[in-house]
Amino acid sequence: MSVLWISLFCVALFVAGTPMTLILAVWVAASSYWVVDFPLMNMGVSSIDALKNYTFLAVPLFVATGDLLTAGGVSRQLVRFAKALIRAVPGRTAAASVLASGMFCAISGSSAAASATMGKLMAPEFRRAGVPMSRGGSAVAAGGILGGLIPPSTIIIIYSLTVNASPVALNLAAILPGLLILAFIFFAAIARTRRYEPGSVEQGGYWEEVGASAAGALPALLAIAMLFVGLYSGIFSPTEAAGVVTLYCAVVAVWWARGVRLRELPGVLMGSASIMGVIGPMVVFSIQFQQVLSILEVPDVVFGHLIAFSEQFGATATLILMMGIVLLFGTFMEVVAVILVLAPIMAPIAMEIGIDPIHWGVVFIVGAGLGFISPPHGLNLFITSMAMGLSYAQLIKDIWFMILPILVAWGVIAALPFFSLAFL
């Protein structure tokens, strides 16, 4: 059986709605057995080796921080704080959802968690403000992608492990790009909802409201500060930082916010850990997928073609082509799969055509992150529609007005390496 027939069969499985993890497993097993003559025992051995990585512990731990803050009611305080900060801004409810998402993502590092949390919290706020749910939902879904961009991010950690790059350097490099994209989404949300929610003319009591809301959000703000100082000063590794902040958020949820009982804590943590039940197998089969591709010399062929393209049309055209490939794959595949499949192939090409590997890593992550809100896959779109009781079709109609500003910001980040390299 040839690789072509195996690949066509897997495409049919994809069209039929088969999960990407299972498709990768089928392709790896069939190609190993019939094409490259790998013993199937290799799948088990390499699976164990792939998961014996200390840094992977940071992924469920960062998710746990967001789950604990939500269970403890602190996420609601972040929304209240964000609304107080921009009280006079038109369209402040949608804009506050983006700002609160940014703060939530700076702790949890999870796009899915941000979309689910903000969707549940903001749905009644949008109804109260008279903002159409589709426009509010598009702001929530777009704000959710910040979980993959604003450090610390689980997506950044997975990318760093995939290409053997420094997770601390990548997190530092993502700070300005993440804030830039937050700003673009923030102003797009204002533009889309200002007609439904004009700016407030009330002047009195602003600082009192901000102070009171900041007091409620203080545990989350301290968690952000703890992560920033501990991670970027070198006191903690990403995994240690995730562990410390998870422990802190557990204390906050149980004894400060009193939103979680002590006996409920293991259940919350088990729910967070279950995320590895999705990511773990995908990481395993993607690494094996890369092994088979290497034997078939596919990366060498792709490398040769793109280098030839660069010699003929220049590095800028090659960069645009690579960004287009990342965006296309992100439209149809889960973000983790895009990283695990494409990153090892494209990182060497970027270096060969003179692009700084950290800068390219940020450009790649932003493009892959767009997949969270790009139809037809768009994980954040499904999560937001369910969390807000909104139809998927309605959300798709409005999400394009959020995708376009992010594409502009992505182009700025790619064209100006300063945004990625300023803190390095």
Model confidence over 281-324: pLDDT tens digits? 877 777 788 778 888 888 888 888 899 999 999 999 999 999 99
Residue carrying structure tokens 């350097």: 169
Count of alpha carbons within 13 angstroms of residue 176, beta-carbon side = 16
Q: How far is the C-alpha of 244 from the C-alpha of 61, rounded, in Å?
A: 9
pLDDT higher than threshold 70 for residue 203: no
Is 9 part of a structural domain of the chain? no
Give me the number of domains the chain comprises: 1
Is 15 part of a structural domain of the chain? no
Maximum Cα interatomic distance, the chain, rounded to a whole number of Å: 75
Residues spanned by the domain of 255: 56-422
CA 142 to chain centre: 11
Enumerate residues 6+ apart whose C-beta is below 8 A from 314. none
Q: What is the amino acid identity at position 199?
A: G
Which candidate, 240, 217, 216, 215, places its Cα nearest to that of 227? Answer: 240
Enumerate residues 6+ apart whose C-beta is below 8 A from 259. 71, 72, 73, 74, 253
Model confidence over 52-109: pLDDT tens digits? 666 677 778 887 887 888 888 888 889 999 999 998 889 999 999 999 999 988 888 7
Is 147 part of a structural domain of the chain? yes
For the chain, what is the mean pLDDT?
86
Lowest mean pLDDT among 270-274, 378-382, 394-398, 401-405: 270-274
Is 25 part of a structural domain of the chain? no
Q: Which has more confidence, 120 or 200?
A: 120
Is 138 part of a structural domain of the chain? yes
| Distances, alpha carbon 32 to alpha carbons 1, 28, 111, 285, 339, in Å | 11, 6, 34, 12, 22
Other beta carbons within 10 angstroms of residue 26's beta carbon come to 16
Is 7 part of a structural domain of the chain? no
> Residues 358, 173: contact at Cβ < 8 Å?
yes
Model confidence over 239-274: pLDDT tens digits? 888 888 888 888 888 888 777 888 888 888 887 777
Q: What is the amino acid identity at position 101?
A: S
> Residues 307, 349: contact at Cβ < 8 Å?
yes
Is 34 part of a structural domain of the chain? no
Other beta carbons within 10 angstroms of residue 182's beta carbon come to 23
pTM of the model: 0.86
- Please tell me the predicted confidence (pLDDT) of residue 361: 95
> Residues 155, 339: contact at Cβ < 8 Å?
yes
Residue carrying structure tokens 């990585």: 53
Report H helices in 233-334: 238-251, 265-273, 276-295, 298-313, 315-332
353: tokens are: 């055509």
